[in-house]
A and B are shown apart, each in its own frame.
Chain A
Amino acid sequence: MDPTAASDFIPTTMESPVVELQDFDRLVQIYWPRVFRFVLASVRDTDAAQTLTQDCFWRAYRSRNRFRGDSSVNTWLIQIAVNLVRDYSRNKRLRFWKRTLSSSVDTRAISDWLPDRDMSPEAKTFAREQVEAIWAATVTLSKRQRTVFLLRFVEDMELLEIAAATGLTEGAVKVHLFRALQAVRKRIRSLK
């Protein structure tokens, strides 16, 4: 994964998770971008992502005294975010009328953010198409497949961390990731 990417917000010298929780202001500063990014990529609605990210930190703040440091703070926060996204997706159908005031984001522009490398115009166009194809494929994935896929390839989390955050076994994470990759690759192949 790009060294300037997901992990750029996480301090290199990490304190113990319990100590880290004592300065909650700092914790919000460090982890907000990552949690917001995961939620936004999952729900694709800026307002909903803002609300859910706030809820995530609010829940963490409320239960900070119960956190024993069994996992990293990042995994713990992502675990809360995964649950919130799941609940949001369940209730989404009931809120269809709210779509008129929707703040859903334009995901077509996702490929505008490709890394600026020395590529020929043709290669760049192809790369853009591939990124857009992956983005489009993630919509067709099941909720679990999408969550696992985003955590692995956007958040750069290890399989065991994903397992801890999603409550799945490592084997189940691999199965969901395999199926997600098959679907994504099928979409990429259709470009050729």
Chain B
Amino acid sequence: MTNHLSSKQISRLLAGDGTSAEEQHAGSCAECERELSRLHETLLAFGYSVQHWAEAHGSTCVPDSEFLRVRSSSWRMGPFRWALAAAVMIILIVVPLYKNAGDRYREEDSSEDAVLLEQVNAHLSRTVASPIEPFMQLLSETSADKVGDR
């Protein structure tokens, strides 16, 4: 490699993706080596700055790991809480439905009772048994005719 490394080749080397020829050139060419080392220094300074900037924003303020145990116990209770909420929801939905259904059955039963009572009343109000009723009707018609003839 006679020419200096291109911008892309330098970026590739910094990314750890350079070819052996590029690496060899960077090791032997003072100018390219200087450019690489300058970039490396800049990136080091950047990394250092971010690390100390993060420290200033509390990266080293490590919380007590108690938070894990507190969260763990509340997390374990989580499913139970969901189950309780689900049970309450089911009760709130099912009880009114059940109550409505009971009222409907009671209404149906009372109407059936009323019909039955009417039938009983009708039965009791008869003077003769229902199979004889047609004969009685025929007899009453015949006696009326006789009265008419007279």
Assess whether B133 is interfacial by the CB under 8 Å rule.
no
The 28 sampled A-B contact pairs (Cβ below 8 Å) are A2-B48, A6-B51, A29-B62, A32-B59, A32-B63, A36-B58, A36-B59, A49-B57, A54-B67, A58-B67, A62-B72, A109-B53, A113-B49, A113-B56, A114-B45, A130-B42, A153-B43, A153-B47, A154-B50, A154-B51, A156-B47, A174-B15, A174-B16, A174-B17, A175-B17, A178-B8, A181-B14, A181-B15
In order of increasing CB-CB distance, the 3 nearest A-B pairs are: A113-B52, A37-B54, A177-B15
B interface vs A, CB < 8 Å?
Answer: 7-8, 10-12, 14-17, 39, 42-60, 62-63, 65, 67-68, 71-72, 75
Q: How far is the CB of B15 from chain A (nearest CB, A)?
A: 4
**A134 CA to B59 CA in the complex, in Å?**
21
B interface majority secondary structure: helix
- Between A and B, how many residue pairs show CB distances below 8 Å? 128
Beta-carbon nearest neighbor of A182 in chain B: B11
Q: A9-34 CB contact bits vs B (8 Å, 1 = yes)? A: 00000000000000011001100111
Chain B contacts of A178 at CB under 8 A?
Answer: 8, 11-12, 15, 17
Would you call B68 and A61 a contact (CB within 8 A)?
yes
**A57 CA to B39 CA in the complex, in Å?**
35
Interface size grouping (class) on chain A: 35 or more
**A188 CA to B14 CA in the complex, in Å?**
15
Would you call A131 and B62 a contact (CB within 8 A)?
no
A interface majority secondary structure: helix
Chain B contacts of A115 at CB under 8 A?
Answer: 45, 48-49
Q: How far is the CB of B68 from chain A (nearest CB, A)?
A: 5
Would you call B62 and A127 a contact (CB within 8 A)?
no
Among B50, B55, B56, B57, find the residue whose CB has the most chain A CB atoms closer than 10 A: B50
Chain B contacts of A29 at CB under 8 A?
Answer: 62, 65
